[in-house]
A and B are shown apart, each in its own frame.
Chain A
């Protein structure tokens, strides 16, 4: 994936994060857009870009939400690498598998950040809350929907539709 596309992807993730996070309906759609951006880059199979995208996305997230810069960057860099391995090595495929992988990645992100917070800030370790689970579910559903939309043969569908109309 080209660098310009990655930058565009990260900008879109930041805009979506602010749009949803700034509204009063944030609890209904707590999708981790930065994780989706990282996973999209990881899907192309380039380890270096996936790791760097994860780190950049994590830094952006840390800048607005965390007391220490680098916690989400650390987590998302690891997840970028792990998701790339999943993308190039795993045999399974399809929207459901992508959704499940993203949900697990979201929970892993949560756990890594909680662990770093406990180590560096002596915060209590808080994982597997209802918020975290709902965020994982929402991220998984959003990722699965994107994967399904990506894999759908739009061109053939459009051709068939036109042919039906002509008849």
Chain B
């Protein structure tokens, strides 16, 4: 850091005051965290309000983000076809801002339609929704979705792509909702090995992979076996792919240590499909909110 900063020299005389403010802020944070930790069973009204308040900003920035993404994709396409490259460049130069945003919106709709077509095999698909933001930090894998309670989204709603399960909605605002991805270190789902029919629990490891737990050492599970949702957790529907067994190791315990590679490409998520919440989650929203923690 630079030492000849004149502002620094003036303000540096008062670090004690900064220390007092730091202490106050930290105590405030701890109080807020404690209050939430106690009130978790009662719901997350505070987060719901914050999500609702942030929905206009999220929607506005999302549309710009989609516009930018659309532009980048277009540039990618120009590299693949030389003739189309020239045409697209002329088109891009001619377009004004309004047309730019309209095109991005149309692209988004097309993407959603494609997703719904390809996801026809999934059970009880409600519709496709855009992902506004994905956050990966300290084992937390969460996503902000561009839909909320105004669109009928409820906590516990499972999310998937045609390749497999992605996660579930955990907090809902009016126009935005937050989802926990299956790679989150605290996420879990009831799972079944398709070939052997054995039931276990898939957990995210917070590092981009998953583990399949509670499979006995007598199991014949092998690398390459498909793991799908078992429908026993009250959140995810049955029979949706979760991943492929990557490795099986036999520890000294009663259960095998099984690593699972996710079927869905979490690195490139832009849109996801909302699935119908399970009856258990519909009747008791707390199932959807706190099942994994």
Contact = CB atoms under 8 A, between A and B. Distances in A.
Interface of A: 1, 14-15, 17-19, 21-27, 30, 43-48, 50-52, 54-55, 61, 63-74, 77-78, 80-81, 83-94, 97-98, 101, 110-111, 113-114, 116-117, 120-127, 129-132, 135, 151
B58 interface: yes
Interface residues of B, number: 68
A86 B29 CA distance: 23
The secondary-structure label for the interface of chain A is helix
Interface string B9-30: 1111011011101100110111
Given A45-B11, A47-B17, A70-B36, A127 B293 contact: no
B206 A77 contact: no
Contacts of A65: 133, 135, 137, 140, 142, 144, 178
Given A22-B65, A45-B9, A66-B140, A85 B15 contact: yes
7 contacts: A14-B57, A15-B61, A22-B134, A46-B11, A70-B36, A117-B139, A123-B185
Interface stretch (B44-52, B154-162, B223-231): B44-52
A133 B65 CA distance: 25
B1 A69 contact: no
Interface of B: 1-3, 5, 7-12, 14-15, 17-19, 21-22, 25-26, 28-30, 32-33, 36-37, 46-47, 50-51, 54, 57-58, 61-62, 64-66, 68-69, 72, 131-140, 142, 144, 170-171, 178, 180, 185-186, 205-208, 267-270, 293
A19 B180 CA distance: 20
Contacts of B29: 55, 70-71, 73-74, 77
B136 A81 contact: no
Given A23-B69, A65-B140, A93 B3 contact: yes
Given A23-B270, A80-B22, A121-B37, 11 more contacts: A18-B58, A25-B72, A44-B7, A47-B11, A63-B54, A87-B2, A88-B8, A88-B12, A90-B3, A114-B139, A117-B139
Contacts of A89: 12
Contacts of B18: 46-48, 50-51, 81, 84
Nearest to A84: B18
A66 B185 CA distance: 13
